[in-house]
Amino acid sequence: MTSNPRFDACLEFLLKWEGGFSDHPADPGRATCMGITQRTYDGHCARRGRARRSVRGITRDEAIEIYAELFWAPLQCDRVSPPLDLVVFDTGVNMGTSRAVKLLQASLGVAVDGVLGPQTLGALEAQRAPLPALVSDYLARRGGHYRALVARRPSLGVFLGGWLNRLEDLEAAALTSISPPL
């Protein structure tokens, strides 16, 4: 559907973790399919003049449109070096775009406001830290956010193991693409 090989590669990683339909009572997003919440899907259908329907019936093409329009583009992943693009994109989908940007800003050492503007993009272009160190710092912050979230809302503890497994897989995918095995 898209002609962007980086988006396609990042999407494949994402869809490995954002599988089929789920409606877990402890999940604040409630009903989701392919990682898309009912609320997000309702907005997508409305923007396209389509009747509202259950997210359970979302198509892969619709999910791709949503991921491209609501996550990849706003996070300006085309301007983020691989594999940091994967890390930021996956975080945006899992935690929201503002949180993804805040984690990036904290890792870059710039003002943390959740806005991916000139200051953050400039810091990204000028970043001196080796990319593996930046990726590892970002992912450590993401893991810390998960733990803090569970500490504040213990009912979310049911998801912590899965979140941390996803984070470990993401780190392996990102760091392997930076330093491929010999």
> What's the number of domains the chain is made of?
2
Q: Which residues pair with 36 in a beta bridge?
A: 33
Chain centroid to Cα 78, Å, comes to 14
Given the DSSP bridges, would you call strands 21-22 and 32-33 parallel, antiparallel or unpaired?
antiparallel
Instruction: Report the pLDDT value the prediction gives residue 125, as an integer from 0 to 100.
Output: 86
**Sign (positive or negative) of CA dihedral 80, 83, 84, 85:** positive
> Which pair of tokens denotes residue 73?
């583009």
Residues spanned by the domain of 173: 77-182
Residue the block writes with tokens 């070096």: 81
Instruction: Report the pLDDT value the prediction gives residue 1, as an integer from 0 to 100.
Output: 46
Instruction: Report the pLDDT value the prediction gives residue 103, as an integer from 0 to 100.
Output: 98
Which one of 32, 49, 73 terminates a domain? Answer: 73
Residue 40 sits in the same domain as residue 84: no
- Mean pLDDT calculated for residue range 126-130: 76
- Mean pLDDT calculated for residue range 103-120: 94
Instruction: Report the pLDDT value the prediction gives residue 73, as an integer from 0 to 100.
Output: 96
Helix (H, G, I), strand (E, B) or coil at 48: coil
Selected residue with higher pLDDT from 137 and 130: 137
- Mean pLDDT calculated for residue range 44-56: 94
For the entire predicted model, the pTM comes to 0.91
- Mean pLDDT calculated for residue range 146-171: 96
Picking from 68-72, 170-174, 177-181, which range would have the lowest pLDDT averaged per residue?
177-181
**Half-sphere CA count of 112, side-chain side, radius 13 A:** 10
Residue 62 sits in the same domain as residue 97: no
Residue 156 sits in the same domain as residue 180: yes
The DSSP code for 22 is E
